[in-house]
Structure 1
Amino acid sequence: MEAMHSSQMQQAMEEMKRQMANMPAEQRKMMEEAMAASGIHVNEDSVSLANGQVNINKNGMLAKQCITQEEIDRGEVADVGDECQSTLTQIAKNRFKSTQVCTGENSSTTETEIVFHSPTHYTGKGSSSQVFNGQQYSTNITMEGKWIDSDCGDILPATYDDE
C-alpha cells in the first residue's frame, strides 16, 4: 500500500505541476496563493499539508503533532473512529505493543511494537493489512518519534471526541 500511495502521490504531484506550468502566470499565482491559504505547499520534491505539519515525499511521510502534558497524563490515544478498537499493552519497561482493528468497508488490522529509548525518543515497527476498494493491501510500518520543543508554535494539539 505504501508503494501504491507513493506512486499515486508522485503521479498527482507531476500532474499538478504540469497543469500549473500550463496556466497563465496570473492564474498560476492565484492558484498557488489559494493553496497556500489552505495550508498546502508544493515544491519540486514534496507536498506539505496543514501548514507544514505533514510533509510527503518519495522517502515517506513526516508528521508533526503537538501533545500536551495533560494528554500524556490521561494516557490518550489519537481518535480512531467508531469502527476501530485500539489496545496498548506494555510488554517490558520501555516496550509497548499497539493493536488497532477497524471494521467496515475499508477494514484494517495494524500491529506495532514501540520502544521508548528515553523520555524524548521512541522507535517502532509493525505491519498493517487493509481492504481498500475491495482489494487487500499489506504495509510495513517504520516510525520514529522525537521531542522537538516545549512550544508547539502554530501546531495545535489533537482533539478527542470526549472533550
Structure 2
Amino acid sequence: MKTPSVPMALIALAAIAAPPAVAQPGKLQPGLWEQTMTMKSASGQMESQMAQMQQQLASMPPEQRKMVEEMMAKQGMAMGSAGRNTTVKMCISPEQAERGDVPQQEGDCKQEVVERSGSTLRFRFACKGNPPTSGEGEYNMASPTSYSGRTTVLTQVQGKPEKMEMTHTGRWLGADCGTIKPRVSAR
C-alpha cells in the first residue's frame, strides 16, 4: 500500500489531538476514551489522500486488510467510513487524570498548556520529524466523560505547507483500558 505520508500523518494527528485532563474544578475520568476527529485542509490534499487510503484499504484482500486494521488498532486508531473522520482510542491513567497532564503519544513532540479557565484548556504544540508539525487548539470539557475541541495544525503535505483545521469530540468508554496503554505525558 503506497500512500506517502498519510499513515504517519494520521499517527502524528492522533498524537497531538490526545484529550487533555482539565485542571480543577473538573477533570476527565481516567480510563478508556474514544476521540473522533474531522479534518479539513486548506488545499484538500489531505482529504484526497485519506479517501485514497480508504479505497485502497477496501480493495485489499480480507487477510491483508485485517492485518492493516489490527496494526492501526494496536495504536488505538480506526478510520471512519467517510474518509475524513479518524477515531482514536486512548487510555488516561488515574495519575495522569489527577495531575491534569496533557497526554500525548510517545515521540518528539512538545505540548504546552497556554491557559486553563474553568472547563476550557488552550494549548500549543510542536513536533519534530518528517514533516515537522505545529499548531494550537482548545478543549472544552462538558463533563468528566465528554469533551469537544478544535485544533489548527501547520504541517507539510508532499513538501508543501499545509494548514488543517480539526474538530474533535471525546467520550469516556469505561474504566478498563484493555490492551491500550496510557500515553506518555510531556514533561
TM-score using structure 2 length: 0.62
Tell me how far apart the structure 1 counterparts of residues 175 and 186 of structure 2 sit (CA, whole Å): 25
Tell me how far apart the structure 2 counterparts of residues 104 and 88 of structure 1 sit (CA, whole Å): 21
> 2:122 is matched with which residue?
97
Tell me how far apart the structure 1 counterparts of residues 144 and 185 of structure 2 sit (CA, whole Å): 24
> 1:23 is matched with which residue?
none
Judge conservation of contact 2:111–2:126 (CA < 8 Å) in 1: yes
- Count of aligned positions: 143
> 1:148 is matched with which residue?
173
Two-structure CA RMSD over aligned residues (Å): 3.0
Tell me how far apart the structure 2 counterparts of residues 80 and 153 of structure 1 sit (CA, whole Å): 19
> 2:163 is matched with which residue?
138
2:69 is the alignment partner of 1:40:
yes
- SS of the residue corresponding to residue 49 of structure 2 reads helix
Q: Which of 124, 131, 154 lines up with 2:149 in the alignment?
A: 124
Distance 1:8 1:77, change over 3 A: same
2:103 is the alignment partner of 1:77:
yes
Tell me how far apart the structure 2 counterparts of residues 115 and 159 of structure 1 sit (CA, whole Å): 22
- Point out where structure 1 has 5 or more consecutive residues left out of the alignment: 21-27, 42-47
What per-residue deviation string (whole Å, max 9, x for no partner) do you get for residues 7-58 of structure 1? 223223434544x4xxxxxxx4xxx33553x4626xxxxxx92159322132
Q: Taking every aligned residue pair, what percent have the same amino acid on both sides?
A: 23
Distance 1:87 1:67, change over 3 A: same
